[in-house]
Amino acid sequence: MSRDQSIHPRAAAFEIWWMVILANLVGVASAGLAVALRRGVHALAELLTPWRAATGGILLPAAGALAGVLIVRVFFREPGGHGVPAVLEAVSRRGGAMRRRSILSRLLGSLLTVASGGSAGLEGPTVFSAAAVGSRIAAALNLAERQRVRLLACGVAGGIGAIFGAPLTGMIFAMEVVLAEWTLGAVIPVAVSSVVATEIGRVVLGEAGAFSAGDLVWDAADLAASLPLGLLCGLVSVGLVVAVFRVEQLAERARRRSPILARPGLVAALAGLGVGLVGWRLPEAIGEGYELVDGLLGGHLPSASLLLFLLVGKLLATALTLGSNAPGGIFAPSLVLGALLGSSFGTGIAGLLPGIGFAPPPFFALAAMAGLVAGAMQAPFTGLFLALETTGGWNQTLPLMMVATLSALVSRTLLRHSFYTWEVAESGRLLRPGTDRRILAELTVGEMLDEETATVPAGSTLEDLTRLLPRTRRNHFAVLDPDGCFEGMLDISRLRPFIFDETLRRATPVDTVMDRIEPLRPEQTLLEALGRFDQDGAWVLPVAAADRTFLGTVSKSTLFDRYRSELIVQTADRAE
């Protein structure tokens, strides 16, 4: 293209401004949801304080988990869990489409779960609700699929930014985890939404971050100590994710074996009872745990043994809460576990090597907060900026980068997927933009039928087939019965010994030499079709309706041509 044509067409230039305007609207709406949830949890937790101190306080997490699951599963009729996998699936498979009721379902469910003592964070439900807001605004304006996905991401960024007072974290989480792309057309509206929502959140909830780390002095020895801490964070984050999944498996097994436990909320209530028992012995280990983190970053350390008990107790309470499908997120528990792990590490290394003069335990607590989040989500940028923005510890950027990167590396080495992507990735529903799987999954066999198809009636002989050869360039013929239903395929290259022998040609019915293969359905995706090509070792496959009415054929050459065209379309925005 010449430089004379370097100016964008008017429609293309207007689109980005239109998205920025809508991003402001989504930012305001997502901030409203985040602020309402944060204030609601604090108000309800305050209201429940007398109950928590009473004898029956041990039952409070069970009641909250039961109520939270009933709200999500029964009242709103939505699947359980924290909701982020559903957001990823909406982006991957449904063009960003989410239901209207998703705006409130997990918001109310997590309000009861966390306020009553469940060991979970608010970011998962906030992401789900704010994403639904972005999706519904796009649907109301009848926007295209690509624009709807971006407004969904704007909601995600705004929700995270507002609830944590962390605009960079909101933007990076939306780009790194949800969209998995960094195009300018996506970054600009997502950043705008995050900024707007964060500012509203700060005005309503206060300017200060969730925690305060202060200025911690560190040197090369502390940076070197961050190496083993990063590896340790990776191992603990893997332990956390595995523990949650293990509880999920046990809960699912219990539901299958007991009709009573299969009822919504009962398994979550039993798990909540376990959380209550943990809280009875270790009250600081349940709930969001922000007060505990503040104390650890402020240097108010319990004994080394109590730190370890709290670490184990918090991990167990988190696994029970999230593994039972109670609504909640993993950010807050990861931050608390990181602070406990880092404080324990800092205390231990100072005792083992007293002559070196390491930084105080709060330094390692802050670094491990970034490491646990990065490891659990396999998202080092999100972990790094969440710890930095929520604590204001910007002078510790280098060691936090070290710990977050190593933790994500260990997690990625030991786990196939992160906590948030596991469910959709294992089921094949995580399809990232521009990837082979995404492109092939978005096209159906019915869209790919070959322009020319050759058929031969059942009962014909190879002599009849040879009369058809001069009329077509096709090497594959579909054998059809009198009603037009598919019976089998003929490959000319495999029939040469018969075709060139006149006696055999006249005596051989096509039915006896055809390949009886199962036809593809027009609604199947090209991803499924490609699997069939590999399985059958075929170059051309038949396509038929459910009643076996023959519709045509699809060939590998057509598939690859269409794939190449679609790849150009889907990656055009990334090339700008």
Q: Residue 40: what pLDDT?
A: 93
Using the 3D structure, point to which of 157, 175, 210 is the last residue of a domain.
210
Task: Compute CA distances 576 → 183, 196, 318, 564, whole Å.
Answer: 8, 26, 43, 19
If asked whether residues 271 and 417 sit together in one domain, one would say: yes
What pLDDT is attached to residue 12? 54
Do residues 360 and 144 lie in contact, with contact meaning Cβ atoms separated by under 8 Å? no
Asked if residue 269 belongs to a domain, the reply is: yes
Domain of 520? 438-573
| Total number of domains in the chain | 3
Give 529-535's long-range contacts (Cβ < 8 A, gap of 24+): 529/445, 529/448, 529/554, 529/559, 530/440, 530/559, 533/559
CATH of the domain at 238: 1.10.3080.10
Strand partners of residue 262: none
Q: Are residues 150 and 247 in the same domain?
A: no
- pLDDT number for residue 517: 87
Same domain for 198 and 237, yes or no, is no
CATH number at residue 506: 3.10.580.10
As given in the structure block, the two tokens for residue 543 are 């396509």
Q: What is d(CA 524, CA 530) in angstroms, rounded to the nearest whole number? A: 10
Let me know whether 421 and 499 are in one domain.
Answer: no
CA pair distance 309, 210, nearest whole angstrom: 24
Closest CA to 318 of 111, 61, 66: 61
Among candidates 299, 275, 269, which has minimal Cα distance to 287? 275
Q: How far apart are CA 506 and CA 269, in angstroms?
A: 75
Q: For residue 562, which amino acid is it?
A: R
75 assigned to some structural domain? yes
Q: Would 389 be classed as within a structural domain?
A: yes
Q: pLDDT tens-digit profile of 186-208? A: 899 999 999 999 999 999 988 76
Q: Tokens standing for 300? A: 């108010």
pTM (2 decimals)? 0.80
For the chain, 576 residues long, give each residue's pLDDT as a single digit of tens: 445 555 555 555 678 899 999 999 999 999 999 999 999 998 998 898 888 777 778 899 999 999 999 999 889 988 877 788 889 888 887 888 999 999 999 899 999 999 998 898 888 899 999 999 999 999 999 998 889 999 999 999 999 999 999 999 999 999 988 888 888 888 999 999 999 999 999 999 887 667 777 778 899 999 999 999 999 999 999 999 999 999 999 999 998 888 888 888 899 999 999 999 999 989 899 888 888 998 999 888 888 899 999 999 999 999 999 999 888 888 889 999 999 999 999 999 998 998 888 999 999 999 999 999 999 999 999 999 999 998 888 889 999 999 999 999 999 999 988 888 888 777 666 666 656 666 666 678 888 888 888 888 988 888 888 888 888 888 888 899 988 999 998 888 777 777 777 777 787 888 888 888 889 998 888 778 888 888 888 888 999 998 899 999 888 887 777 767 766 655 555 544
On the CB side of 52, CA atoms within 13 Å amount to: 21
CA atoms in the 13 A half-sphere facing the CB of 377: 31
Q: Classify 242 as helix, strand or coil.
A: helix
Distance from C-alpha of 14 to C-alpha of 454, rounded to nearest angstrom? 48
Same domain, 95 and 194: yes
CA distance 251 to 501: 67
Residue 422 and residue 374 share a domain: yes
What pLDDT sits at residue 11?
52
| Domain shared by 271 and 337, yes or no | yes
Cα gap 471→466, rounded to integer Å: 10
Q: For position 34, what pLDDT does the model report?
A: 94
Within-domain flag for 143: yes
Residues 375 and 510 in one domain: no
Looking at the structure, tell me whether residues 157 and 193 fall in a common domain. yes
Determine, yes or no, domain membership for 442: yes
Residue with tokens 């918090």: 314
Residue 264 and residue 376 in one domain: yes
Residues 248, 129, single domain; the answer is no
**Does any domain span residue 453?**
yes
Residue 371 tokens, joined: 């490491």
What is the reported pLDDT for 22? 96
Q: Which of 396, 427, 458 is the last residue of a domain?
A: 427
Element (H, E) at 150: helix 145-164
Q: What pLDDT, on a 0 to 100 scale, did the predictor assign at position 432?
A: 67
Q: Are strands 476-480 and 454-457 parallel, antiparallel or unpaired?
A: parallel
Say what the pLDDT of residue 343 is: 95
Are 561 and 472 members of one domain? yes
553 found inside a domain = yes
215 located within any domain: no
Which pLDDT does position 1 carry in this prediction? 46
Which amino acid type is present at position 502? E
**164, 180, 210: which is the final residue of a domain?**
210
Cβ-contact 114, 73 below 8 angstroms: no
Phi, psi of 7 (to 5 degrees): -85, 135
560 class by beta-carbon count within 10 Å (0-12 exposed, 13-18 middle, 19+ buried): exposed
